[in-house]
Chains A and B, each alone.
Chain A
C-alpha cells in the first residue's frame, strides 16, 4: 500500500496534553518501526518553570521510549516553535508531526491562529493535531473513525489508523456520516442499515479494504444527520476512547455559512481527538 512512516516528530512543551500527544506518537512509532524525535522549542522569554516542565516532559518521554524500545532522539531548540519545527522537518525528512492543541486555543484557531494550526498549515509533512480532554484513557481501546463520501489521502489515513490500532490493540469503529435521504414532497426517508450499506461510497469501501489488508478488525455504522453532532453522540454513547478524523477542507467563509463539523468536534469532543492533515497522495 506504499505508506511508511520512518520519522515521526512529537512537539513537546510545558503542557501535559503535549506529553499525552507524544505518547500517541511514540506508540505509532513503535508499530511502524519509525524513529521518534521529541522536540521542544523554547520561545524567547519563556518562564523558567515552564522551561523546566518542558524539559522534564522530554526526559520522561525519552525514558518511556527507551522502555518501549523505540528509537528516540530529543531535540531542544530556541526560537519560534513553528519555524524551528519546520526547519527540523525539512532537514531530517520527517514524515509525520504530532502536535497538541488546548482548550483555550480551540476558539481562536480560525480567527487568531495558534502554533498547532500554523504547523498543520505550513509543514510539508503530515500533521496529527491532538486534542486531549481525558487523561484516564491511557491506551485507547476503542477508536472511532468518522468517514465521509469524498476523502483524500485514503492510503495514509487507513495506514495511520491501522498502525495506531495495532499498537494499542484497539478496536476500530468506522462511522459513515451522510445526509439523510429525502425527497421534496416526502421529506426525510427512513432507510434500513442494509439499504444504506448498498450505498457505501467508493472511498469508504477503499478505506475498509485497506484496513482489512492490515488485518485490523472493524465495525462499521452509518448515521444520517448532522455530522459534528453525531460524531460526538456516537463517541459518548459507545464510550470511545479516541476519535481519528480528517482535517477540514472548508475555508473560513464556507465554515461560517455552513458550519464546520471538524471544528465542532474539536470544540466539544467527549474523548481525545486526533485531526489528521495528511500529505501522502494516494497512489
Chain B
C-alpha cells in the first residue's frame, strides 16, 4: 500500500496532516526531521584530494624515493649534480600528476542544472491560510497549491483537481501533458495519475496536493542521486596505466636493489652504487608516458570533434574503442525522425498514401485532422513530427477544415490514445487516435463503403491482420475512431463515456526512414564484433521491422517489452539477453539504467544513448554515455561522456573506430617508449658489472624521456587507423595495453637492436679516444663526456628508426607513405635539432654533461637505424604470413 492507493482521508491520516495544512511549528519540526527540500550532490571525493592522490600511487612513491635519495645525496656529497636530478624528478612527478588529473577530470554540472528545474517559491496552506514560502522549506505533510505555469516543488498526492494537467517530461521523457486527478490509483506510484512529481510543471488547471516526499527522497531527487552517485569507475585506459605503472615500479625497484647488491659484492663504493641505483630507476621509469598518453587523448578528442563527437572526459576517447555493446535509441538516432505517411487502411483495404483519392477516406482524414495538436501557421507546420505528418496529409486531402475544439483528453502513455471533442457542422463529435490495441476495443462499428456496420468477428480479425502487416513493414501504426455525440457538447467529461461505442475510421502507417548511413554503420559494428540493442518506445513489430531494414537482425531476436522487464529479476533478464540479438520495445527511459547495469554485470562494456533528464543515470552508469547534441536536454549532456553533435548512430561507429585507433596508437608509442628502456639500462648495468666509464648520465636519460622522444611519440598517437581496425573483435577485458607481444617487441626485439647500435657508438668513441679496458676515467673527463654523449646521440637516432618501425603493428610501414604523418616528420626534425643543441651548445653541455661529437658517430648509427626498420618489417612480414596460414 502506498500513498497513491489511499483515499483522501487516509492520505491525511497517514501523513499526519489535514486540508488546513501544517502549523508553522510543526513545519519547522518536520524541516528538522526530513531536511530541506533541495537537490544535493552526493558526497564525493573533493577535487583537491583527487589531485593529491596522483602524488601517492606506486610510481609516484618510487619517484619520491628517488628524489629524496637525490636530495640526501646532495646534502652528504655536494657538487655531484644530485640536486638538479632531485629537482628534475620532482618536476616529473608534478608533470605526471597534472597530466593524469587532466585525463580524469570532468566538470560536473548535471546537479546544478537539475536544481534549476525546481521552483524557488511555492504557495502552501499553513494553519488554514495560503502563504508563499521558499520551496526549500516545503516538508512532507505540507498542502501545496498548484496552478498553470507553476513548477511542482516535491512529490505530492493530489487531493483536489480541476482540469489539472502536468508535464512530467523530466521524469518520464514524455513531452505530452498528463491529466491529474485525486482518485486512488491501483498501480505503480511512478505511473499514478494522482501524484504531482517534483520537477514537473503544471500545464493547465488548478488543484492542491499533500507533499509526501521532498528533496532527495522525491522521484526527481532519485534521478539526481543516481546522476550524482553513480560512478563508472576507472576507464579501461586508466586501469591499464595503473597496471603498467605497477609493473614498471616493481621492475625498476627490483633491478635497482639487485644491482645495488651486485655492486656491493664486486666492491664498488656505497655512493657509486647509490648513484647507479637512482640512475637505473630513472632509466626504467618512462617519465614521458603519462604526458604522451594525455596528449594523444587530447588529439584523439580533437579528431573526434571533426567527426561531430564532442568528448567530455578525456579517458573516454579510448574507452569508446573498447565498447562491446551499444544500447541505442531508435527515433532520431537510427532513423531520421522525419515522419511520413506511407500506407492508409480504411474500409477493408490498404492503400499507398499517395494514391488516396476516394471520398471514403474523408472520415479517417477528418479524425486525423481534428484529433491533432500540430498546427499550420504562416505556411509552416509546427509540432511533434508524427502529428505534423498526419496534419500535413490530412490538409492535403481535405484542405482547411473549420471546427471548434471543445476539450481534449490528452494523450498519455498508459492509455496510449488521445481524444478531442469538436463542434463540426453544428454537431458535437469525439475523435480519438492512438495505438491500435487501445482504439479497437472502444469501437462497436466500422465504416465500410460509407456505411457504419457492426465491428465484430472476421472484421476485427481483418483489422488486426492489416495492423500487423503495416507494423511488419516497419511502419508506426495509429488507429482512428470517432463518435457523434449529438447536438450539445457533453456537460461532464468522462473519458469512459466519450470513448465508447465509437466508429472505427481506419489506420495510418507512418514511416520514419532509417538514416541512409546507418545500414553500413551497423554492418561495421557487426564486423567489429560489437553488439547492438535497439531501445524504443515503438511496438515490437515495428521495432523488429526497422531493425531488419537496417541490418540489425540476422535471425529471430529476443524482444523484451518494458512491462516484461519490470517483472523480471536481473538474473532472468541476463538469461534472456545473453548471446542473442535483442530488441527492447515499448520501453521508457526509466528502464535503461537497469539494462546497462545487467549488461555490465555480464562483462560487457556498454555505450548507451540518451537525451532526456531521466536518461541521466543510465548515461552516468554506462562505460560511455552518449547524449544527443540536437535533441538532448542539458542534464543528459552534462551526465554523458560524449555528445553526438548530429544525433547520428553512424557517428558513434566512427567514434568507436577512432577510439580503437587511439588504443592501438597508445600501444605503438608504448612499444616505442619501452624500446629505449633497454639501451638506457644495459650500458648502466655494464657500468656496474664490468667497470666501464659511466655511459649515460641521469640528466641525459631525462633529456631523452621528456625531451627528444616526446614529439615522435605523439606523432605515433595520431597515426591513421590500420585497415583492419574495425574487422577485429573488441579486445577482451583481460587483454591490456601491455602484453607479452608488446614487451618482447619493445624491450627485447627493438631494444636489443638499439642497444647493439648504442654500445657500438659508445665504444667507438672511447676506443678512438685512447681508452683501454680497465682504464679508470673520471665522469667529468672530456673523453667520458664524449662517450656518454655518443650513447645519448645513438639512443636518439635509434629511436628515430624505432618510431618509423612502430608506425604499424602488423602491416608494412612501406604502405603508409612517409608524408602521411607530417607530425612524425616534424617530430624527427625536432628530435634531431634538440639533440644537436644538447650536444653542441655550451650551456646544454654544462647542464647535461655532454661534449661535442664528430661526424663519425652520426655516420656509424645510420646502418643501425635502418636495421631497426628492416628487422621489424621482417617480423611483420612473418606475422602476416602466419596469420594468412592460420586463416
Interface of A toward B, CB cutoff 8 Å: 14-17, 19, 49, 53, 57, 60, 102-104, 132-139, 141, 184-188, 190, 192-193, 219, 221, 225, 229, 232-233, 236-239, 264, 267-268, 270-271
The smallest C-beta distance from A192 to any residue of chain B, in angstroms, reads 6
> Contact: A187 with B3, CB < 8 Å?
no
For residue A225, which residues in chain B have a CB less than 8 angstroms away from its CB? Answer: 233
For residue B212, which residues in chain A have a CB less than 8 angstroms away from its CB? Answer: 134-136
For residue A138, which residues in chain B have a CB less than 8 angstroms away from its CB? Answer: 1-3, 6, 14
- Whether a CB of chain A sits under 8 angstroms from the CB of B43 is yes
For residue B571, which residues in chain A have a CB less than 8 angstroms away from its CB? Answer: 193, 219
> Contact: B30 with A16, CB < 8 Å?
yes
> Contact: A136 with B2, CB < 8 Å?
yes
> Contact: B217 with A185, CB < 8 Å?
no
> Contact: B225 with A135, CB < 8 Å?
no
For residue B222, which residues in chain A have a CB less than 8 angstroms away from its CB? Answer: 236, 239, 270
A-B contact count (CB 8 A): 122
> Contact: B14 with A268, CB < 8 Å?
no
Which of chain B's residues 569-617 have a Cβ closer than 8 Å to chain A?
Answer: 569-571, 574, 593-594, 597, 601-603, 617
Bound complex: CA A248 to CA B141 (Å): 32
- Enumerate 15 A-B pairs (CB-CB under 8 Å) in ascending A order: A17-B33, A104-B35, A134-B213, A135-B15, A135-B213, A136-B2, A137-B2, A187-B243, A192-B602, A221-B570, A229-B231, A236-B226, A237-B617, A264-B43, A268-B225
Residue of B nearest to A226 (CB): B231
> Contact: B246 with A14, CB < 8 Å?
no
The smallest C-beta distance from A72 to any residue of chain B, in angstroms, reads 18
Bound complex: CA A103 to CA B38 (Å): 13
- Whether a CB of chain A sits under 8 angstroms from the CB of B163 is no
Which of chain B's residues 227-248 have a Cβ closer than 8 Å to chain A?
Answer: 229-231, 233-234, 239, 242-243, 246-247
- Whether a CB of chain A sits under 8 angstroms from the CB of B818 is no
> Contact: A16 with B141, CB < 8 Å?
yes
Residue in B32, B190, B226, B734 whose beta carbon sits within 8 Å of that of A102 in the complex? B32
- Whether a CB of chain A sits under 8 angstroms from the CB of B874 is no
The smallest C-beta distance from B595 to any residue of chain A, in angstroms, reads 11
For residue A238, which residues in chain B have a CB less than 8 angstroms away from its CB? Answer: 594
For residue B229, which residues in chain A have a CB less than 8 angstroms away from its CB? Answer: 229, 232-233, 236
Residue in A141, A232, A267 whose beta carbon sits within 8 Å of that of B225 in the complex? A232
- Whether a CB of chain A sits under 8 angstroms from the CB of B258 is no
> Contact: B226 with A104, CB < 8 Å?
no
> Contact: A193 with B574, CB < 8 Å?
yes
Other A-B contacts than A16-B16, A237-B226, A270-B222, 7 sampled, CB-CB below 8 A, are A102-B33, A135-B141, A139-B1, A187-B242, A232-B229, A239-B222, A268-B216
6 tightest A-B contacts by CB?
Answer: A136-B3, A136-B212, A103-B35, A139-B1, A104-B32, A133-B217
For residue B221, which residues in chain A have a CB less than 8 angstroms away from its CB? Answer: 270
- Whether a CB of chain A sits under 8 angstroms from the CB of B733 is yes
Bound complex: CA A254 to CA B4 (Å): 43
- Whether a CB of chain A sits under 8 angstroms from the CB of B531 is no
The smallest C-beta distance from A242 to any residue of chain B, in angstroms, reads 12
The smallest C-beta distance from A275 to any residue of chain B, in angstroms, reads 17
Residue of B nearest to A192 (CB): B603
> Contact: A237 with B216, CB < 8 Å?
no
- Whether a CB of chain A sits under 8 angstroms from the CB of B843 is no
Bound complex: CA A185 to CA B216 (Å): 40
Residue of A nearest to B10 (CB): A138
- Whether a CB of chain A sits under 8 angstroms from the CB of B20 is no
Residue in A19, A103, A185, A239 whose beta carbon sits within 8 Å of that of B32 in the complex? A103
For residue B355, which residues in chain A have a CB less than 8 angstroms away from its CB? Answer: none
> Contact: B157 with A136, CB < 8 Å?
yes
Bound complex: CA A14 to CA B29 (Å): 9
For residue A17, which residues in chain B have a CB less than 8 angstroms away from its CB? Answer: 33-34
> Contact: A271 with B217, CB < 8 Å?
yes
- Whether a CB of chain A sits under 8 angstroms from the CB of B287 is no
> Contact: B597 with A268, CB < 8 Å?
no
Which of chain B's residues 139-156 have a Cβ closer than 8 Å to chain A?
Answer: 140-141, 155
The smallest C-beta distance from B757 to any residue of chain A, in angstroms, reads 32
Bound complex: CA A98 to CA B570 (Å): 33
Bound complex: CA A49 to CA B26 (Å): 9
**CB-CB contacts of B1-22 with A at 8 A, as 1s and 0s?**
1111010000001111000000
Main secondary structure of the interface of B (DSSP, over half): helix
- Whether a CB of chain A sits under 8 angstroms from the CB of B358 is no
Interface of B toward A, CB cutoff 8 Å: 1-4, 6, 13-16, 25-26, 29-30, 32-35, 42-43, 140-141, 155, 157, 189-190, 212-213, 216-217, 221-222, 225-226, 229-231, 233-234, 239, 242-243, 246-247, 250, 569-571, 574, 593-594, 597, 601-603, 617, 733-734
Do A135 and B3 form a contact, CB below 8 Å, given A16-B33, A104-B32?
yes
For residue A60, which residues in chain B have a CB less than 8 angstroms away from its CB? Answer: 13, 16
For residue A233, which residues in chain B have a CB less than 8 angstroms away from its CB? Answer: 226, 229-230
Residue of B nearest to A222 (CB): B601
> Contact: A15 with B29, CB < 8 Å?
yes
Bound complex: CA A237 to CA B597 (Å): 10
> Contact: B217 with A270, CB < 8 Å?
yes
For residue A270, which residues in chain B have a CB less than 8 angstroms away from its CB? Answer: 216-217, 221-222, 225
The smallest C-beta distance from B735 to any residue of chain A, in angstroms, reads 11
For residue B569, which residues in chain A have a CB less than 8 angstroms away from its CB? Answer: 219
The smallest C-beta distance from B556 to any residue of chain A, in angstroms, reads 25
Residue in A15, A136, A237 whose beta carbon sits within 8 Å of that of B594 in the complex? A237
The smallest C-beta distance from B619 to any residue of chain A, in angstroms, reads 14
Residue in A16, A185, A192, A236 whose beta carbon sits within 8 Å of that of B247 in the complex? A185
> Contact: A184 with B246, CB < 8 Å?
yes
> Contact: B33 with A15, CB < 8 Å?
yes
The smallest C-beta distance from A40 to any residue of chain B, in angstroms, reads 15
> Contact: B155 with A136, CB < 8 Å?
yes
> Contact: A237 with B593, CB < 8 Å?
yes
Bound complex: CA A229 to CA B34 (Å): 20
Bound complex: CA A16 to CA B239 (Å): 48
> Contact: B140 with A135, CB < 8 Å?
yes
For residue B157, which residues in chain A have a CB less than 8 angstroms away from its CB? Answer: 136
Most interface-central of A16, A102, A270 (chain B CB within 10 A): A16
For residue B2, which residues in chain A have a CB less than 8 angstroms away from its CB? Answer: 136-139, 141
> Contact: B34 with A133, CB < 8 Å?
yes
For residue A132, which residues in chain B have a CB less than 8 angstroms away from its CB? Answer: 33-34
Bound complex: CA A220 to CA B602 (Å): 16
Bound complex: CA A38 to CA B225 (Å): 35
The smallest C-beta distance from A252 to any residue of chain B, in angstroms, reads 19
For residue A19, which residues in chain B have a CB less than 8 angstroms away from its CB? Answer: 16
For residue B593, which residues in chain A have a CB less than 8 angstroms away from its CB? Answer: 237
Do A103 and B239 form a contact, CB below 8 Å, given A185-B246, A236-B222?
no
The smallest C-beta distance from A135 to any residue of chain B, in angstroms, reads 5
Residue of A nearest to B593 (CB): A237
Residue in A53, A57, A137, A188 whose beta carbon sits within 8 Å of that of B239 in the complex? A188
Most interface-central of B2, B3, B190, B617 (chain A CB within 10 A): B2
Bound complex: CA A251 to CA B242 (Å): 32
Bound complex: CA A268 to CA B140 (Å): 17
Residue of A nearest to B34 (CB): A103
> Contact: A134 with B1, CB < 8 Å?
no
Bound complex: CA A128 to CA B30 (Å): 21
For residue A103, which residues in chain B have a CB less than 8 angstroms away from its CB? Answer: 32-35
For residue A15, which residues in chain B have a CB less than 8 angstroms away from its CB? Answer: 29, 33
For residue B243, which residues in chain A have a CB less than 8 angstroms away from its CB? Answer: 185-187
For residue A14, which residues in chain B have a CB less than 8 angstroms away from its CB? Answer: 29
For residue B601, which residues in chain A have a CB less than 8 angstroms away from its CB? Answer: 192-193
Residue of A nearest to B4 (CB): A136
Residue of B nearest to A18 (CB): B33
For residue B140, which residues in chain A have a CB less than 8 angstroms away from its CB? Answer: 16, 135
The smallest C-beta distance from B543 to any residue of chain A, in angstroms, reads 24
For residue B239, which residues in chain A have a CB less than 8 angstroms away from its CB? Answer: 187-188
For residue A187, which residues in chain B have a CB less than 8 angstroms away from its CB? Answer: 239, 242-243, 246
Bound complex: CA A188 to CA B222 (Å): 29
Do A104 and B246 form a contact, CB below 8 Å, given A134-B212, A135-B212, A237-B593?
no
Bound complex: CA A49 to CA B23 (Å): 11
Residue of B nearest to A17 (CB): B33
